[in-house]
A and B are shown apart, each in its own frame.
Chain A
Amino acid sequence: MDKDTASDPAIQTQALTRRFGTLTAVDGLTLQVPAGSIYGFLGPNGSGKSTTIRMLCGLLTPSGGDATVLGIDVRRDPEAVKRNIGYMTQKFSLYTDLTVLENLKFMAEIYGMEKSAAQERIAVLLQRFALESMTAQLAGTLSGGQRQRLALASATLHKPALLFLDEPTSAVDPESRREFWEFLFEMVDDGTTMLVSTHFMDEAERCHALAILDEGRLVADGTPEQLMSELPAAVVEIQSAAAGTRAVREALLAAADIFDVAQLGSRLHALVDPARSQPIAYVESLLQPTGIEAELSVVAPNLEDVFVMATLHKKTEQAA
C-alpha cells in the first residue's frame, strides 16, 4: 500500500517521556504514525509499549515531550482524544458478569449513540465478529478468542478513526490470531488507523510500519522491508543438530565481530559485522574449536534478526 503523504499523520510524538519515580518507562520517543495504516509497536515485556499507548490515549500525563493524536494535543485536551479513539486494553476490561449484548449496549450508551443507530451497529459487529450465537452469554465465560473479538467490537462501536490495540493477540490461539489480523486489514481498508503492540514477529511483519522499543527507547523504526534490508549486519544461518547447544552460542558470542546470535528452532542466526568480507569463513573459523559439524549459509535478514540487532545490549549483559 502506498502511503498517503499528503494527509497529516494520525499520531505524532516529540521526545515523549514518562517516568515512574526513578524508572523511565518511556524515554524520549519521537515517531510518526501515518493515517490509514497499521503501525506496530514491537518490544519485550516492560519496554514501555503500554505506557506509550496510555499516554497517547490521554490516560497518563507525559513527564516530558509532546504528543498529538488526530491533531489533538494529548496534554491539553485528553478528553477530546478519548472521544475520538478506540482502545483495546492489554487485559480484558469489559464486564465479565455482563452478557455480550449487555456489554455492547452499555458501551454504545456511554458513547452517546442513538438507540436505533446503536442497535444497527451492534447487529453489524456481532455478525462481523461471529458473536451472534453468544449474545446472551456472560463475557466471563467466553474463550480467549471470543473475548478478544468482543473487545474489538466494543472498541470499534463508535467508529473511531484511530484504534489502539495493546497486545490484542497475546491470549489467543494461532488460528484466532490469523482471523483477528484479517479483521484489522478489513478495518484499515475502511480508512481506520491502528496502532498495535505485539511481541510476535509474524504480527510485526504484517504491519505497514513499526517501531522497535527497548527499555523505553525507540531503537529502530520503518517498514518491515526497510528494517530487514537495511540491517547493518550479515546473517549467517547455522544448520546443525548441535546448533542449539550452549557451547556453540558461547563460542560465537565471545567473538568480537559477532553482534549477537538469534535462535530459530533448530537453526541459529549469527549476526556478523558487515566489515567482515567473508562472513561464512569467519563463522566457520569460530566453530572449528568446538568440533561441531554445521551447514552454513548467508541468508536475508528476517525481523527476528532485526529485533535481536536492535536490542543488542543483551549480548553485553550476558557476557558480563
Chain B
Amino acid sequence: MNGFSLRRTAAIARKEFRHLRRDRLTAGMIAGIPIVLTVLFGFAINTDVRGLKAAVVDQANTSASRALVSDARASQVIGSLVSANSPWEIERLIRRGEVSLGIYIPADFDARVAQNRRPFAQLLIDDSDPQILRTARGLENLPLQPFDQMRDGGTFAIRALFNPERRSAVFIVPGLTGVILSLTMVLFTATAIVRERERGNLELLITTPVSPLELMVGKIVPYVLIGYVQISLILLLGAWLFDLPVRGSLVDFYIASGFYIVSVLTMGLWISTAATNQFQAMQMTFVFFLPQLLLSGFMFPFDGMPRAAQWLAEVFPLTHFLRIVRGIVLKQAELTMLMADIWPLALFFAVMMTLATRRFRKSLD
C-alpha cells in the first residue's frame, strides 16, 4: 500500500474547513449551542434551595423554642414563615403545596432539651421534591446540637471546600463543557461521512488513492480545533456570567481536553460509518448521548448510582472528563493526578479509531 500521507490528510482537513466555512447552520451551531446551553443551565437550573416557605407549630412557645425557629430561619433555607395550629394543618399545607417545610415544636420541648431526649422537635418535609429533601436534611441537626459540642468540632460540622457559597453554576458549568462537546462533536462527525454518501461525493472519493485512515484523521482535525473553541467559549462565559474560577493550570486543562475531544470525535466517526443516512446518524448520536448525560455524574452524583450503572458509566468518555474538568477547574488538581481518567480516554480514542477505520470500506458493496 502507499502508507499514510500527511499531504492527503491535510487535503481532507482543508476541504472540511471549507465545507464548515460555507455551511452557515453548522458554523452557527459551533457558537450557538455552547452559548445557549451555558446560559440556560447556568441561570435556569438552580439546585440551590433557598427561601423555602415553612409552617410552624410552636406548642411550647418558650424562649428556647422561639430561638430555635429563628435559628432555622437564619440558615436562609427558610424564607418565610406562617404559623399553623397543629401538625395536621402543616401536613395539609404541604400537600396543597403552600409550604415546603413544617416545624413542629411539642409542648414539652424545654423538658426534652434538658433531659437530652431526642428528637426535640419535628421537621416535616415535602419530600416529593428530592432537592428539598436533601436541603432540609441539612437542617435536621443544625440548631439542635448542644452548643459546646458545636464549638470544639466534636460533632461534625459541614464545611464546603470547593464551592462554599454552594452556587450550582460553579458545579454545572465545568461539567457542561463535557456535555456540550459530547453532543456537538459527535453530531459533527457522525454526519461527516454519511453526508458525503448522501450527496454522492463518496463514490468519487473512494475511487481515489485516499486511505481510510487518512480520511478519518483528516475529517476530525478541523473539529479538534472547533472543540477547543467551544471549551474556551464555555469557560469564558462561565467566568463572565457566573464568576467561575479556573483554579488549576489552563495548560493541563487544554491537554486533558484534547484527549476528550478526539475520543468523542472518533465516536462520531464510528457512527458515521455505521449509519446509512444523516437522520439515522443523528438518532444514533442521541442514543449515545442520553445515557452519558444521565450516568456520567453530571445529573446525579456518581457515588449514588448502583454498581452496574457505575461500571457502564466508566466506558463513557464524559464520565472521565467530568472528573478531569472538575479536578482541574475546581480542585486545582494536576495532570499527573488525573492519569486514571486520562488513559481511559486515550484507550477509547484508539479503539473507536480502529473500529471506524476498519469498518470503512472503499467499496460500494
Contacts and interface: CB of A to CB of B under 8 A. Distances in A.
A112 B364 contact: no
A96 B208 CA distance: 18
B201 A93 contact: yes
A58 B365 CA distance: 10
A220 interface: no
Given A54-B364, A94-B201, A110-B8, A59 B19 contact: no
A112 B203 contact: no
Contact of A95 (B19, B203, B206, B210): B19
Interface stretch (B10-18, B41-49, B128-136, B269-277): B10-18
Nearest to A107: B208
B22 interface: yes
B1 interface: yes
Contacts of A85: 207
Interface string B206-238: 111110000000000000000000000000000
A95 B364 contact: no
B301 interface: no
A39 interface: no
Contacts of A102: 15, 18
B303 interface: no
Contact of B23 (A57, A60, A82, A97): A97
Nearest to A86: B207
Contact of A59 (B11, B200, B363): B363
B307 interface: no
A60 B363 CA distance: 6
Contact of A110 (B11, B19, B23, B202): B11
Contact of B207 (A87, A94, A98, A112): A87
B362 interface: yes
Interface in B187-208: 199-208
B7 interface: yes
Nearest to A109: B11
B68 to A, nearest CB: 70
B209 A111 contact: yes
Contacts of B10: 109
Given A59-B364, A60-B365, A110-B8, A97 B18 contact: yes
B204 A112 contact: no
Contact of B208 (A61, A82, A89, A91): A82
A112 B208 CA distance: 10
B26 to A, nearest CB: 11
Contacts of B2: 83, 112
Interface string A102-123: 1000110111100000000000
B10 to A, nearest CB: 7
A112 B23 contact: no
B208 A110 contact: yes
A59 B203 CA distance: 8
B5 interface: yes
A94 B18 CA distance: 14
Contacts of B362: 59, 78-79, 82
Interface of B: 1-2, 5, 7-8, 10-12, 14-15, 18-19, 22-23, 199-210, 362-365
